Amino acid sequence: MAEIVPALGTEIKKVKKKESPFIITLKRLLKNKLAVIGLIIIVVQIGMAICAPLITSYDPAKQNLVASELPVFSEEHWLGTDNYGRDVWSRIVYGARISLVVGLVAVSLGLIGGVTLGLLGGYYKKLDGIIMRIVDLLFSFPGILLAMLIIAILGTSLVNVAIAISIWSIPSCARIVRGSVLSIKEKEYIMAMKSLGASDLRIMVKHILPNCFAPIIVFATMRMATAILSTAALSYLGLGAQPPTPEWGAMISQGQAFMWSSPHLTIVPGIAIMLTVFAFNVVGDGLRDAIDPNMDIQ
Amino acid sequence: MMGETLLEVKNIVTEFRTADGQLPAVRDVSFSLKKGETLCIVGESGCGKSITSLSVIGLLPSNGKITSGEILYEGAPIHNLPAEKMRQIRGNKISMIFQEPMTALNPVLTVGFQLREPLMLHHKLSKSEANKQGIELLKQVGIPYPEKRMNQYPHELSGGMRQRVMIAIALSCNPGLLIADEPTTALDVTIQAQILDLMNDLKSKFNMGVMMITHDMGVVAEVADRVMVMYAGKKVEEGNVNEIFDNPKHPYTKGLLNSVPNVDDPDFELEAIPGSLPSLHEQIDGCRFHARCKFATDICRSKEPPLSKISDTHHVSCWLEEEEGKLG
């Protein structure tokens, strides 16, 4: 028999226009109003960070003592100026760059470490004990304290803040990934892959990891919020960005002294931090609902 | 094209390390399989048929181990190969089809991706070459519009389709031996027949040996050349398919055949085998089936029956036959 003709009954229903899982998730996400608001804030912010020189007319570090402590909605400076006469709007816009980049770097590094440890721990029973004890050890420190400890060792700079925050992200990420791996590796399709002679590495990276993407994406989004908040907190404490870097946390810390005379110096960067953290959190929440297959019922 | 021995399993014992100590799940089982032949391993759930097949392909759970005996593939031992060598054999020379087509395909990867994997892995094909061959394979297993299917996800296919995809994946590297673990149990009856036909066609096309695990005597009648009946980890009877169906010797085999309804014969009484399978760690003297056997005698309760020969191809492990054999 040369060719096996498809038998009757095997004809399957016409597949309607193909929708990738990405499009489906996006559609569901867009139904969530709060998540859309968050998404808009994030997009605007990314736009601000990228086009910073185009939407500001002042150098964020340039001092102009003649026009210091101008209030909000001044003629030249719509968000006013600080005690050195630096344009607050420029500093907020350039600060968005720093927050996003530090957050992104910290989360990426944290994901690389956490996913690797989680995959290894979940897949190899023997490594699991060791890796999870290390993770427990990291968990036993309060996050910000751990970050401060790392910065104390490495020195104060934004790069070190990113590293510190990433190390602090590793344990929770490792736990999440390990949990998914533990359930996925027992699935029949992993057994089927083994029966085809795939190596452990191939199974882990190409067949198990894609199944863990949903929790990882949600984790990463939520973690961005934490990372941005922590960067601001550490800079506020003087452990991160050093003057004259326009970092939001550092701006609050510097504006503190002028809280009564020029409250906008603390309120404006405060609102910027709040909006960003809020945006990433609601998008993370929305993503979790959108990715969850049980939401299909609705 | 039958004749050449493909697989030889000699006296394997597979044990599991558990909290209750070592549990033998497969006890001293031997069989052989020729090229182009289908061997059906039949028995109740938990009788060790799946573990036998996993022992052959070397995918026992981490607490399981082949403690004695040997497995020869084309004359070379494969039961003691290092993991890396065994990995090259799996998928390439021996491959496996699983019971549940719904769960045996990765839901987040396209059919094409999963079909290309073994080709790129064992034959070192490039992605586009693998893609071409994948489409060819899908055609061979009777899937319409193969080009389109390559980019679809498993949830877009029906159960029968998925099982066809599974078969295509398993056959992608032209293996000499195909192990099918209840490949049709989860499918509709009409689809079952199609899948069995397909497997038969492909078997003769590629001259493969097929080891089919099932508890469905209907499936056995349809596809098997030889049948091995297992009970509680032991082989109780082995023979050509007509020998087993026309002249079953072991009371357990008879019981299995009698527990299949017969529509043609209105007087046919469905006869269930009383009792249930003993648990693995139960110490049983004599024949492992004696507690459920209505012909059991004293010797059945005290001494394990040897394998007696009915014909060159038909063997049974039962005292009733042993005595007859002695007389004749």
- pLDDT tens digits, one per residue of B43-66: 888 888 889 999 999 888 888 889
Asked if the Cβ–Cβ distance from A197 to B88 is below 8 Å, we say yes
Burial class (CB in 10 A: 0-12, 13-18, 19+), A198: buried
Residue of B nearest to A199 (CA): B87
Q: What is the mean pLDDT of residues A153-164?
A: 90
Q: Give the CATH number for residue A162.
A: 1.10.3720.10
Across the interface, whether the CB atoms of A10 and B59 are under 8 A apart is answered: no
Instruction: Tell me the sheet residues that pair with B228.
Output: B41, B238
pLDDT beyond 50 at B21: yes
Instruction: Map out the domains of chain B as residue ranges.
Output: 5-93+175-327
Among residues A106, A129, A59, the alpha carbon closest in space to that of A223 is found at A106
For residue A237, give both structure tokens: 């404490």
Residues of chain B with pLDDT > 70: what percent? 97
Q: What is the pLDDT of residues B125-155, one digit of tens each?
A: 999 999 999 999 999 888 889 999 998 888 8
* pLDDT given for residue A3 in this prediction: 52
Looking at the partner chain, which of A1, A12, A213 has a beta carbon nearest the beta carbon of B158? A12
Is the CB of residue A80 less than 8 Å from the CB of residue A200? no
The residue of A11, A195, A296 whose CB has the most chain B CBs within 10 angstroms, and thus the best one to mutate to test that interface, is A195
Rounded to a whole number, what is the distance in angstroms from the first to the last CA of chain A? 48
Homologous superfamily in CATH for domain B5-93+175-327 = P-loop containing nucleotide triphosphate hydrolases (3.40.50.300)
Query: Across the interface, which of B95, B140, B144 has its CB nearest the CB of A195?
Result: B95
Distances (CA, A) of B297 to A152, B46, B107, B150, B300: 83, 26, 54, 60, 5
DSSP code per residue over A44-78: HHHHHHHTHHHH--S-TT---GGGTT--TT-SS-T
Q: Which domain holds residue A55?
A: 45-59+74-292
Q: Residues B237, B315: contact at Cβ < 8 Å?
A: yes
Q: Does residue B23 carry a pLDDT above 70? A: yes
Average pLDDT rounded to a whole number, residues A201-211: 91
Cβ neighbours of B139 (radius 10 Å): 17
Write out the E strands in B45-119: 64-73, 76-77, 94-97
Residue B326 pLDDT exceeds 60: no
Binned at pLDDT 50, 70 and 90, residue B289 comes out as confident
Distance, CA of B252 to CA of B238 (rounded, Å): 12
Q: With b meaning 16 or more CB within 10 Å and e meaning fewer, what string describes A215-229?
A: bbbbbbbbbbbbbbb
Q: Rounded CA gap, A26 and A36, in Å?
A: 10
Nearest chain B Cα distance for residue A122, angstroms? 15
Q: To 5 degrees, how large is the angle CA B106–CA B43–CA B39? A: 75
Q: Which residue type is seen at B136?
A: E
> Which chain A residues are within 8 Å of B121, Cβ to Cβ?
196-198, 202
Gap from A251 CA to chain B (nearest CA, Å): 45
Is the confidence at residue A6, as pLDDT, over 80? no
How is residue A195 written in tokens? 């029966």
Number of structural domains in chain A: 1
Radius of gyration over every alpha carbon of chain A, rounded to an integer in angstroms: 24
Task: Determine the pLDDT at residue B325.
Answer: 47
Instruction: Read off the pLDDT band of B259 (50, 70, 90).
Output: confident
Which of A1, A4, A126 has the highest number of chain B CBs within 10 A, making it the mutation to test binding with B? A4
The pLDDT value given to residue A204 = 92
> Dmax over Cα atoms in chain A, in whole Å?
93
Of B91, B142, B169, the CB nearest to A4: B142
pLDDT tens-digit series, residues A10-56:
444 444 555 677 788 888 888 888 999 999 999 999 999 998 888 88
Span A77-89, pLDDT tens digits: 788 888 888 888 8
Pairwise CA distance, residues B162 & B151, whole Å = 14
d(CA A100, CA A208): 30
In this structure, what is the dihedral angle of CA atoms B280, B286, B288, B289, given to the nearest 10 degrees?
-150
Q: Is the pLDDT of residue B208 over 50?
A: yes
Chain B: give the shortest CA distance to residue A104, in Å: 26
**φ, ψ of residue B297 in degrees (nearest 5):** -115, 180
Contacts of A105 (CB under 8 A, 6+ apart): A162, A166
A interface with B, Cβ–Cβ < 8 A, is 1, 3-7, 9-12, 15, 18, 21, 125, 187-199, 202, 206-207, 210-211, 213
Percentage, residues of chain A above pLDDT 90: 44
Measure the CA–CA gap between B236 and B219, rounded to whole angstroms: 20
Average pLDDT, chain A: 86
Q: What is the pLDDT of residue A84?
A: 82
> Residue B131: what pLDDT?
92
| Integer Cα distance of B208 and A25 in angstroms | 44
Looking at residues A264-272, what average pLDDT do you find?
92
Q: Please enumerate in sequence order all residues whose Cβ is within 8 A of that of B145, keeping only pairs 6 or more positions apart, or say none.
A: none
b/e map B46-64, b = 16+ CB within 10 Å: bbbbbbbbbbbbbbbeeeb
Mean pLDDT of chain B: 87
Whether A8 maps to a domain, the answer reads no
Q: Which residue has the tokens 């720093």?
A: A98
Strand order of the sheet with strand B209-214?
A: B94-97, B177-181, B209-214, B38-42, B226-231, B234-240, B315-316, B308-309
Does residue B165 belong to the interface with chain A, where contact is any CB pair within 8 Å? no
Contacting B residues, span 127-156, partner chain A, CB-CB under 8 Å: 139-144, 148, 151-153, 156
CB contact under 8 A, B104 and A198: no
Nearest to B236 by CA among B23, B44, B6, B18: B44
What backbone torsions phi and psi does residue B74 show, to the nearest 5 degrees? 50, 40
pLDDT category of residue A295 using cuts at 50, 70 and 90? low
pLDDT of residue B226: 93
Between residues A95 and B286, which one has the greater pLDDT?
A: A95
Cβ proximity of B168 and B156 under 8 Å: no
Is residue A298 scored above 50 in pLDDT? no
β-bridge mates for residue B38, sequence order: B210
Structure confidence by residue, pLDDT tens digits, B79-90: 888 888 998 899
In this structure, the number of other CB atoms found within 10 A of the CB of residue A104 comes to 15
Q: How confident is the model at residue B38 (pLDDT cuts 50, 70, 90)?
A: very high
The pLDDT of residue A294: 58
For residue A7, what pLDDT is reported?
53
Helix, strand, coil share (%) of chain B residues, nearest 5: 35, 25, 40
Domain-embedded: residue A6? no
Q: Does the structure show a pLDDT above 50 at B1?
A: no
**How many other C-beta atoms are found inside a 10 Å radius of the C-beta of residue A76?**
12
